[in-house]
Structure 1
Amino acid sequence: MTEEILLLIGERIRARRQEKNITLEQLANKAGVTKGLISQIENNRTVPSLPVLLSIVHSLDEDMRGFFEGLQAKMTDLKYYVIRKDELKEVNREPVKGFSYKRIFSRAVNSSAFDMELLEIKPGAARRQMVTTEAYELKYLVQGEIEYQVDKEKFTMKAGDSLAFDGRHPHRIKNVGKVTALLLVIYLF
């Protein structure tokens, strides 16, 4: 299983869960895991262990072959990629009002994987809960003004500022400006 497939697993779990009208809590209870873990997997914030993945797939009443069918076809070995603005795919990470993620690129590179997205944050929008990821995070603020908190440190970023940190540290973000903030986000797994 390549890292690219691992990045697609969360999307597939969410899609199958939503197709079957199963809530996060219902799936978590049936699979014997926490609702938070299911959310982290669906949002590519963590990769499930094989036993957890098997339990989730079984809890979705899917067989392994059917679950993974078509994932390999989503991957290619091109030498370069051009991603047009109108080809960006909306990613449903967490239900935070005023946040809109758009995936730019997701690919395995030399046994590592990365995910690149644009995050639009409406004025006043904020993540209330601290979150963590199983990735090193790189951020570049394209426009706007945001407040970022990593652990207990809070700081303001303005357009052109960058940020890099280990996503295992709790963090959150808030748009403190008067315009929609646009943040380029890269996760290195």
Structure 2
Amino acid sequence: MDIGQKIRNLRIQKNLTQEELGERTDLSKGYISQLEHNQSSPSMETFFDILAVLGQTPSDFFQEEKPIQLVYPVDEQTEYHDETKGYTIRWLVPESNENEMEPVAISLDPHGTFKTFEPSPAETFIYVTAGIIGLTLGEKVYRAKAGETIYFHASENHQIQNLAKGVSRCILVATASYL
């Protein structure tokens, strides 16, 4: 662990200059610079003072950061098929329902429909990759064919369905807990 770099990163996250951190801990700007470049080691008391200003406990500071996952292989994705309604949904990012956005891939069999949703504060984006997707929003029906997009606020009851004779597919990304 690069202690100096971690102190520097925390200082920057708190929008503090070396001088400001020094003033709040009764240390010089030069000494803060030496710490951040691992040219000096602080006493325990000084280290705890720095952590207090940076809003960190020693256990938080030394806890190893979990690597951030940015790529989600197919084998980590979950799929569900509903034969009755004629759709398959694939959650593209595991546990995405805990995030601000939830991306899914939906495949609709001929005459297939996805479940009906009640109004919510969600925003929804749909990119049609194959066929024709219909969106019933309130009393109106909107159509989008392959290559086209649909973007709407989920302010009314809504449902997507397949309007093509063959299979239709789309990528749907919704905010909040849409799905």
Query: With structure 1 as the length reference, what TM-score do the two structures score?
Result: 0.49
Alpha-carbon distance in 2 for matches of 1:164, 1:103 = 19
Counterpart in 2 of 1:71?
Answer: none
Counterpart in 2 of 1:84?
Answer: 73
Structure 1: unaligned runs, 5 residues or longer: 1-75
Q: Could you give the per-residue CA deviations for residues 25-48 of structure 1, whole angstroms, max 9, x where no partner exists?
A: xxxxxxxxxxxxxxxxxxxxxxxx
Counterpart in 1 of 2:170?
Answer: 183
1:179 aligns to what SS in structure 2? coil
1:138 aligns to what SS in structure 2? strand
Q: In structure 2, which of residues 49, 72, 89 is the aligned counterpart of residue 101 of structure 1?
A: 89
> Per-residue deviation at 1:146?
1.9
**CA separation of 1:96/1:161 partners in 2, compared to 1, >3 Å: closer, same or farther?**
farther
Q: In structure 2, which of residues 120, 124, 142 is the aligned counterpart of residue 155 of structure 1?
A: 142
Structure 2: unaligned runs, 5 residues or longer: 1-64
Residue identity over aligned pairs, in percent, reads 18
Alpha-carbon distance in 2 for matches of 1:158, 1:124 = 15
Counterpart in 2 of 1:165?
Answer: 152
The amino acid of 2:170's aligned partner reads L
Q: Could you give the per-residue CA deviations for residues 52-94 of structure 1, whole angstroms, max 9, x where no partner exists?
A: xxxxxxxxxxxxxxxxxxxxxxxx95445112234320257x8
- Aligned Cα RMSD in Å? 2.8
**CA separation of 1:133/1:103 partners in 2, compared to 1, >3 Å: closer, same or farther?**
farther
Runs of 4+ in 1 over 2 A off after TM superposition: 76-80, 84-87, 126-134
Aligned pairs, number? 110
**Is the CA contact 2:119–2:154 (under 8 Å) kept in the aligned structure 1?**
yes
* Structure whose alpha-carbon radius of gyration is higher: 2
**CA separation of 1:150/1:181 partners in 2, compared to 1, >3 Å: closer, same or farther?**
same
**CA separation of 1:128/1:78 partners in 2, compared to 1, >3 Å: closer, same or farther?**
closer
- Write out aligned runs for 1:1-189 (5 A): 78-91=67-80, 97-105=85-93, 106=96, 113-127=100-114, 129=116, 131-189=118-176
**CA separation of 1:108/1:125 partners in 2, compared to 1, >3 Å: closer, same or farther?**
closer
